[in-house]
Each structure stands twice: as structure tokens, then as C-alpha cells.
Amino acid sequence: MNFKKLLLLSFVLLAIIFSGNASAQNQKANGYKGIWFTLGQFSEFGDKYSGGLGTYTANHVPMAIYSPEVQKTFFTYGGTTAKDEKHLLIMVSYYDHQKKVVPKPVIVYDKIDVDDPHDNASISLDEQGYLWVFVSGRNTRRPGIIFKSKAPYSIESFEQITEGEITYPQPWWINGNGFFHLFTKYTKGRELYWSTSSDGKTWAPDQKLAGMGGHYQTTNVWKGKLYSVFNYHPCGNVDKRTNLYLAQTDDNGRTWKTVDGKMLQTPLTDPHCAALVHDYEAEKKLVYINDLNFDSEGNPAILAVISKDFKPGPQGDPREWMIVHWKNGQWNYTKVCNSTHNYDMGSLYVDGKVWRIVGPTEAGPQKLGTGGEMALWESLDEGKTWKKVRNITHNSVRNHSYARRPLNAHPDFYAFWADGNADQFSESKLYFCNKKGDKVWGLPYDMKADFVKPERIK
């Protein structure tokens, strides 16, 4: 082989090696197949969490957005391309509310050699209609990457904008200001940071919100005011996650305050600082935050699962679904129900005085595993009392988990989630339900046509 041919072959091999995720990027998948994952931390009653985790974690917010301008609900999930694969692909698609169809999902990013849904993405929509996909990284080993659609309200093609140390992305587009992005960096544990950008391309330096050994947070925005609700990890131990904190800002992070307007000095480093909502550590209880929403006056309402043990099984019971609501100048606590696993994650919806929860509160076929059967709970008095309206799923073969609330949720695509066997590797399908919870559709697992109507399964 002469020198020129050898040189050409070398360039080809290098292109193959370094092209990596570009090979699959912007290609369409032939159906909706969710990622299956096991943490691999087993005890007497099974894994700490496992199963179909395409809509995992509660710290990826938002994962779906309804756009009234085009009458579509756009969503992202962690997918794969075959039922026997664990290879993670960051997928984006939409449900067309006019035509009642979904297209083939688009691969925004190929997480080569990664099967971990901690690397799932969050989604945002700017005021020009461009879709933004914030792909989570993991510590400093895998960078977080931000993508933008090449055309408004289109999933056909995405371009990479930037990358950096980003885990658990929570991007919020605030009209007139641009992005307010909250995320995690593994500095001294899982610490909370924020950054802002007017255009998504140039970002202000990262600023630390809280560092008490580590945190998990959930955020939301009310009329331009951003709220962060988080727990803390004593000595950096995520299995001891406890306490409940809230911090708010109405000036894009220049100042932070407590729920009643007292000034906070960031970064927050004292577990007993003024942002503390409830000292669950003193009660030896663990806190798993599910969702944050607001009542009709803009008061925050938190949905969390409170447990006694990080391991699955009866030693952690009762696992209580709790509403923590700021009203009349104080925090009010209401128990909704019990469930069987710490990672039974659901979402809180507020419609005036009518509040709803969609989540896997009922025992599923893998009784002590992650998820279960989805149910709809309703309160007619702003969360003071709760009643189960109906089981959304029943007689399932796999547990359903991580019911996600779209931003501006449309009644016909009110929650979406994935299923999976929590005890052993399985296929994972994706679903959505309507507002009443009496209709459920399965997203098409295999697709030959470019557009398909989801199959009604209930």
C-alpha cells in the first residue's frame, strides 16, 4: 500500500472514530422505545431503583411543553432503538393535537457507550418558537450539551450550541429575559448552580445557589418569579437526603429570598438557614421531591414522598405522599396517600381550587419495585383533602413510573410516562393520558409510516 492510500485510510479511520454521535444525530427512529436501567444497588427487597426510566429523573424539568401556537405538545425522553438494547439516545418528538398523530421521533444526541438515564434531557421553547434540548451530563466525566432546533416549532434538525458541566438541567425561558437555567455541578457533592443567557448562546458565569454537601432540586416559574425547592445530603450522602428548602428570585438571580421575602445570602451553606421549610432530619425522615406548582395566587405547593429508609421494602414504610403548601403566611402539610417505593414519582396539577396528582401510587406487578399502577387523585379544596378518582392503569405486566407534567399541559396530553419490569431487564413503552385519566394511549413501539395515531389502550 503506497503512502497516499495509507494516509487516506488513516483519515477515514479517524473520521469513524471521532464522528461518534454525529452518525445518529438528527436521524429518525422507527418507534418509541424507552430506555431500561438498573442502578445495581441491591438489598433484600430488590434494587434501589430500576425499570423503564425514559422519563427519569424528577430533576429534569420540564420534559414536555404544550405550544398553543401550533397546537402540539413537544417532549423529550431517553430512548433506544431495539427492545434488547440499553443504549441511550436522547429523543424528541411531539403530539399533534389537531391531527391526533405523532411523527417518528428524532435522535437529538447519541449517548455512545452510555445506558444511564441520568443523562436524559430537558426541553424548552423560546418566544420565537425554537426548541432547545438541554442534555444532561454526569459529573465531569460526561459534559452536558445544549441543542437548538434549526427551525421554529420543528424537530427535523438540531444544532449543537454549547457544552459544559451540566447535570439535572432545568431550563426556563422567561419572555423578555431569556434563559434562567438551574442545574447541578459535582463540586463538593451535588451542588446547585444557576446561569442566565439572553440568547442561549452566550451564558453568564455559573453561580452557586446551595452547597451543604449536596442537593436535589425541582424548580418552576410563576409570572417571571423563579422558585427552587430542594433537599440536602448530610456529609454528601444521597441515601440520607432530608429536609426541605425553598428559595425564590424575581430579578434573574441577582437576589434570592425566602418564601416570605427575607433576603438570603448565596451560596446557602448552613442546613438550618432561613430557606429551611421543614427539618425532616430531626425526625429521621428522608425527602424525595417530586414536583413544584403554584396555587391561583402564586403560592408554592410542593409534592414529595417522605420515607424512613433509602432501601426498598417495608422497613421504609410508610412512604407518604405529602403536599406542602404555603398559605396564609404558613406552611401547611397534607398527606395524600401511601405508596410502595421511594422513587414512585408523580406530578402535581393546579386548576383553580381543583388540584390533581398523576402518579404510580398503586402497587404494580413488581410490587416492591420502582413505580406501579398509575392513579389520578383529586382535591377540591386546594390540597387540604384528597380522594382517588380512578386507577389510570390496571392489570399491567410492567410497572409504570415517572409521570411527567407538561408545561401548559393540554387536557388531551396531560401526563406522560414509561413502563418497564422493575425486577429484570425488559422492553419499555411510553404512554400518555388525558386530564380525566379515563383515556390512555400508547406511543407506537414500532413505526413504518412517518406519522401514526397512538393506540388507545384504555
Q: What is the residue-wise DSSP string for 230-247? A: EEE-GGG-GGG-EEEEEE
Task: Return d(Cα 440, Cα 402) in angstroms, integer.
Answer: 15
Let me know if residue 14 belongs to a domain: no
* Lookup result for grid cell 404512554: 431
pTM for this entry: 0.94
Let me know if residue 111 belongs to a domain: yes
Let me know if residue 316 belongs to a domain: yes
DSSP 63: S
Let me know if residue 317 belongs to a domain: yes
Q: What is the 3-state secondary structure (H, E, C) of 82-146?
A: CCCCCCCEEEEEEEECCCCEEECCEEEEECCCCCCHHHCEEEEECCCCCEEEEECCECCCECEEE
Task: Return d(Cα 412, Cα 352) in angstroms, integer.
Answer: 19
DSSP 407: B
In this predicted structure, what is the pLDDT of residue 3? 44
* Domain count along the chain: 1
Q: What is the residue-wise DSSP string for 296-339? A: TTS-EEEEEEEES-SSSSGGG--EEEEEEEEETTEEEEEEEEEE
Per-residue pLDDT of the chain (458 residues; tens, 9 = 90+): 454 444 444 433 333 333 344 468 899 999 999 999 999 999 999 999 999 999 999 999 999 999 999 999 999 999 998 888 899 999 999 999 999 999 999 999 999 999 999 999 999 999 999 999 999 998 888 999 999 999 999 999 999 999 999 999 999 999 999 999 999 999 999 999 999 999 999 999 999 999 999 999 999 999 999 999 999 999 999 999 999 999 999 999 999 999 999 999 999 999 999 999 999 999 999 999 999 999 999 999 999 999 999 999 999 999 999 999 999 999 999 999 999 999 999 999 999 999 999 999 999 999 999 999 999 999 999 999 999 999 999 999 999 999 999 999 999 999 999 999 999 999 999 999 999 999 999 999 999 999 999 999 99
Q: Indicate the Cα dihedral angle 153, 156, 162, 167, nearest 10°.
A: 80
Let me know if residue 163 belongs to a domain: yes
In this predicted structure, what is the pLDDT of residue 108? 98
Task: Work out the end-to-end distance of the chain between its first and last CA atoms, rounded to an integer number of angstroms.
Answer: 64
Q: How many residues appear in the chain?
A: 458
404 is in which domain, residue-wise? 23-456
In this predicted structure, what is the pLDDT of residue 435? 98
Let me know if residue 239 belongs to a domain: yes
Let me know if residue 1 belongs to a domain: no
What confidence tens digit (pLDDT) does each residue in 197-214 have? Answer: 999 999 999 999 999 999
Query: What does the block give as the cell for 144?
Result: 452536558
What confidence tens digit (pLDDT) does each residue in 65-102 have? Answer: 999 999 999 999 999 988 888 999 999 999 999 999 99
Query: What does the block give as the cell for 32?
Result: 418509541
Question: CA 31, 407, 346, 264 torsion: positive or negative?
Answer: positive
Let me know if residue 83 belongs to a domain: yes
Residue 412: CATH number of its domain: 2.120.10.80
Task: Return d(Cα 289, Cα 274) in angstroms, integer.
Answer: 19
- Contact residues for 84 (Cβ-Cβ < 8 A; gap 6+): none
Q: What are phi and psi of 113, to 5 degrees?
A: 65, 20
